[in-house]
Chain A
Amino acid sequence: MGLIVWLLYACTEKEVNETDAIIEFVAPSHFPEVEYNFDENPITKKGFELGKRLFMDGILSKDNSISCASCHATSAAFTQHGHSLSHGFENRLTKRNSQPIQNLAWNTSFAWDGGVNHLDLFAPLPINNPSEMNDALANVLEKLKQHPDYPLLFEEAFSDGKISTANFLKALAQFQLMCISDNSPYDVYVKGEGELDSSQMAGLEVFNSKCSSCHAGVLQTDHSFRNNGLEVQDRSDLGRAGVTEDVNDNYKFRVPTLRNLKYTKPYMHDGRFETLDEVLDHYTHGMVDSATLDSSFRKNETIGIELTVDEKQDLKSFLNALNDERFVKSELIRVF
């Protein structure tokens, strides 16, 4: 197991001063093994703090106006709340809905289409994207070198002290890795430390029989890419096929986690659904058939998932149990 756990967390009863707290990555006991290799990027307090500051700093964009947090705010479980597509440089719209930043140490790939193979390598994507930060990594590093604070912050955070590509990306990754959502009522239930109400329990049962083949496990994703029958509205966005260039992957997108849906609306890769009702209605009677529609939705001659009105209600109760209030209110990782 490539994970190094720092077991130094010293939380006292009185209010923990964030800057005094020791930063550690502790994998929740009920989570699977992490994918991220912490040997390559051990989390330190200074590294984490630098990453957090970079995450909130518009210096990452061409005109210094757009930060990571512009589209990934803690209060919205690190999404751009209420926006179907996010607004980036000069208010340009992005192609897709911003994804939550949570539990990324368990991801096998990144972005809706999985085009990025390492968390450290994610940042250049929004930095380069003309609709997001519209800058270049080299230019961002140059700006950081000229900044009154950053040279010292890098010096404190990394052994070689340099403002380098690797250190910049690793600091950002350290911050993101610490965004762990593991305290929803469902988590409490899974750990045997609490119970779900009867509607949530009924919803869990429906979920397990009708949703969990894709939304698998405690993170509700099997990390695959699937076409869930959304009507194609943007024919220029082929999803996974944009990366693999395989027609069999046309219009497939990442199976997302279902944590913190209360805070991350709207839903789907293009944010087309405003409510969970719309999402569930899509699965029962809104799907459009196509060559790459996931086979799990095919049943005899029909497509979709059969759900009664009661089952939908129970499902929503269960999904509600996946909201992690402590996560979105965490002082440690709060960015705005």
Chain B
Amino acid sequence: MQLLKKVSLLALSSIVILSSCEKENDNEVNNPSEYDTSKSGSLLLMFDTQAGSEDFVFGENYTTALGESFALTKFQYYVSNVKLTAEDGSVYTVPTTKNSGYYFIKEGVNTSVSINDIPENNYVKIDFIVGVDSLRNTMDPAEREGVLDIGDQETGADMYWSWNSGYIFLKFEGTSPEVPDSTKGKYVQDENGNWYTDTTQYTQLEDKFEIHIGGYGGYQSPMPNNNRAVQLDAPTGNSLQVREDANAMGHIKVDVLDIMDGTVLHSFSQYYSVHSPMKTSSIADNYSNMFTLHHVSN
């Protein structure tokens, strides 16, 4: 993780040099250059995972507001339907197609989003949803490529419920001593198809939790919609200066402590095996607040 951090820093600084930006402090008020809205440029969004004020590391123990210790083994989510608002009020909506406009952030593997063909402007607001919109969730498989390909083990297949057609929006997995040891065994069938509780089998592996959030609102029957809208403002006086010949970057801080904590404090003693949309809306509410546009660099 530490290594990854260094690599991304290195990449970051080289881009900064390439774009001949000589600012010492990213957050000082930037004086925008001229722009031409008929030209377009690109934007790089970096999702930097944190645990409170600390840099996030897999396997490291963190503590929730309820005082529960936990460590993560997997943390990944979709970001889509990105919308940028400029200081002059004009809005650019990043199109969503079968293979673009949907981004898969997987901690330790891919934590940046690159968006091209954005009209030049000084953008001060970023909107997106954590998840995959309802419309795409009901489209036929030919409309789901790239990170939405449900036959791609690294992305879409890992983020899809085949028994309840729909994408998983966020996966949060790890261990916590608060996860109850199951003593009830596993409900299984004998050779004649009769169901019984086999106390030699356990449904819950020791300490392991899996929290999978999905649910796009249902197809035939209304179901919870756990897509969450996020709106981030650039730090005061700053903007993302999208230019044809420059690279604007937004550094988004993502605080994993904001998943279990927030308006509702969740306990791993209750939330350890979450695999369906119901009763998880409060977790989705919480994590919609885990993002901050920490600083920009142009």
Contacts and interface: CB of A to CB of B under 8 A. Distances in A.
Given A141-B151, A165-B141, A234-B195, A118 B165 contact: yes
A109 B162 contact: no
Interface string B181-197: 00000010100010100
A101 B152 CA distance: 27
Nearest to B151: A165
A88 interface: no
Interface in B227-281: 276-279
Nearest to B215: A245
Interface in A319-336: none
A93 B193 contact: yes
B165 A136 contact: no
Contact of B151 (A137, A233, A243): A137
> Which of B151, B164, B165, B220 has the largest count of A CB atoms less than 10 A from its CB?
B151
Contact of B220 (A85, A114, A169): A114
B58 interface: no
Interface string A103-127: 0000011010011111011001101
Contacts of B153: 136, 138-139
A170 B140 CA distance: 9
A118 B140 contact: yes
A243 B215 CA distance: 10
Contacts of B195: 233-236
Contacts of B278: 245
Nearest to A126: B162
Nearest to B156: A165
A212 interface: no
A121 B165 contact: yes
B271 to A, nearest CB: 15
Nearest to B139: A118
A93 B153 CA distance: 26
Contacts of A37: 140
B223 interface: yes
Given A93-B189, A124-B160, A165-B152, A109 B219 contact: yes
B220 A109 contact: yes
A170 B141 contact: yes
A117 B165 contact: yes
Contacts of B150: 121, 124, 137, 165
B142 interface: yes
A275 interface: no
A236 B189 CA distance: 11
A233 B187 CA distance: 12
B149 interface: yes
Contacts of A55: none
A117 B220 contact: yes
A257 interface: no
A170 B142 contact: yes
A115 B195 CA distance: 23
Contacts of B157: 136-138
Given A140-B151, A244-B221, 19 more contacts: A40-B140, A93-B189, A109-B219, A109-B220, A118-B138, A121-B141, A124-B162, A129-B163, A136-B153, A137-B150, A137-B151, A138-B153, A139-B153, A165-B141, A165-B149, A165-B150, A244-B223, A245-B278, A249-B221
Interface of B: 138, 140-142, 144-145, 149-153, 156-157, 160, 162-165, 187, 189, 193, 195, 218-221, 223-224, 276-279
